[in-house]
Amino acid sequence: MVTPSSVAPGRVLATRPRRGLLHRGDRRATSGRSHEARTASWMVGPAGLLLTTFLVVPVGLAFALAFTNARLISPRPARFVGLDNFVNLSQDPVFWASLRNTLVFALVVVPVQAGLALGLALLVNAKVRGTTFFRTIYFVPVVTSMVVVSLLWRFLYQEDGLLNRLISIASFGHYTPIDWLNDPRTALGAIIVMSVWQAVGFHMLIWLSGLQTIPAELYEAGALDGATGWARFRWITWPSLVATRTFVLITITIAALSLFTQISVMTQGGPLDSTTTVVFMAVRTGYQQLATGYASAISLVFFVLVLVVAAVQRYLTREKV
């Protein structure tokens, strides 16, 4: 038996902790972790269920139906047809027209909307009076329903609408009014203008949030080096907006490729399919023509298109180390 008196001077007597205390501590830690896991599953479970029900399952069904001749309402069961839908799609002139319209819309809207939003954000971020007022004004179209905005602009674009009247007044009566949405030469351009106007306020706020995260010390250091105006923007502001720039460009691109509401409300794809987009064609094929299998093939092609464009855009806008 070891006694305190028998321990050499300078040595610490090691004592063994009671086993009951260790077991109770382990049980409490394990119980706490299991409780946290149960709480996390209860919190994530509803969102996961909704995500699976309304996203994963429909996407899986669309992939499966793309290889069948399924119809929305038909007494005959769907039959596997392999790649027939995709072969027919490659020979469909309406599909190629809708793809061209979609790409033209995206190629114009993405740089114009991103550039205008950045310009407005720079103005609003300036230390001047009234920035809160202008920030609110620019954001009003964003919180307005797209259906309401589309109806409003459809009235503006009519042959006897406000836009033609203003142009006629500005030209002192030497202007012949046109029906912007019923002319194949102007219909898509008119929708582009309206779409840029409607969404520029949202992306302005995204740019603004990025601008406000740039440390003021960087601008002070640039001022000491003699950087003003364009030099400050090029060497300080623009490089500091890498993450914001990537987010803005990808979101605008996906929204542009998914163009549907404006087309449905304003032109129904006309005139002469000059405003038909890939998404609108898929919806029209599936719900008006009831060709669910063919519409699913269109949706699958659109999914691949968006995936490729987003990946390429993400690669091009990556932060280079």
Same domain, 44 and 177: no
pLDDT in the model for residue 27: 59
Q: What is the pTM of this model?
A: 0.82
75 band by pLDDT with thresholds 50, 70 and 90: confident
Token reading at 67: 């290889």
Spacing of C-alpha 173 from chain mean position: 42
Name the residue type at position 224: L
Same domain, 52 and 106: no
DSSP state of 80: B
Mean pLDDT score across all residues of the chain: 86
Q: Looking at the predicted structure, is the pLDDT value of residue 61 above 80? A: yes
Same domain, 99 and 237: yes
**Long-range contacts (CB closer than 8 Å, 24 or more residues apart) made by 205-209:** 205/121, 205/135, 205/139, 206/117, 206/244, 206/247, 206/248, 206/251, 207/117, 207/118, 207/120, 207/121, 207/122, 207/241, 207/244, 207/248, 208/121, 208/124, 208/125, 208/135, 209/244
- What integer is the mean pLDDT of 28-53? 80
Tokens 């005959």 sit at which residue? 76
pLDDT in the model for residue 2: 47
How do residues 243-271 score in pLDDT, each as one tens digit? 899 899 989 999 999 999 999 999 999 89
Domain total in the chain: 2
Same domain, 55 and 146: no
Same domain, 25 and 118: no
Token reading at 84: 């027939």
Neighbour-count burial of 255, counting CB atoms closer than 10 A to its CB (0-12 exposed, 13-18 middle, 19+ buried): middle
- Is 96 inside a domain boundary? yes
pLDDT in the model for residue 29: 56
pLDDT in the model for residue 20: 52
CATH number for the domain spanning 233: value is: 1.10.3720.10
pLDDT in the model for residue 4: 47
Range of the structural domain that residue 208 is part of: 85-316
Distance CA 62, CA 56 (A): 10
How do residues 144-154 score in pLDDT, each as one tens digit? 999 999 999 99
pLDDT in the model for residue 28: 60
Same domain, 45 and 99: no
Q: Maximum CA pair distance of the chain? A: 116
Neighbour-count burial of 120, counting CB atoms closer than 10 A to its CB (0-12 exposed, 13-18 middle, 19+ buried): buried
Name the residue type at position 173: G
| Cβ proximity of 86 and 299 under 8 Å | no
- Is 14 inside a domain boundary? no
State phi, psi for 136 to the nearest 5 degrees: -70, -45
pLDDT in the model for residue 201: 92
Distance CA 248, CA 263 (A): 23
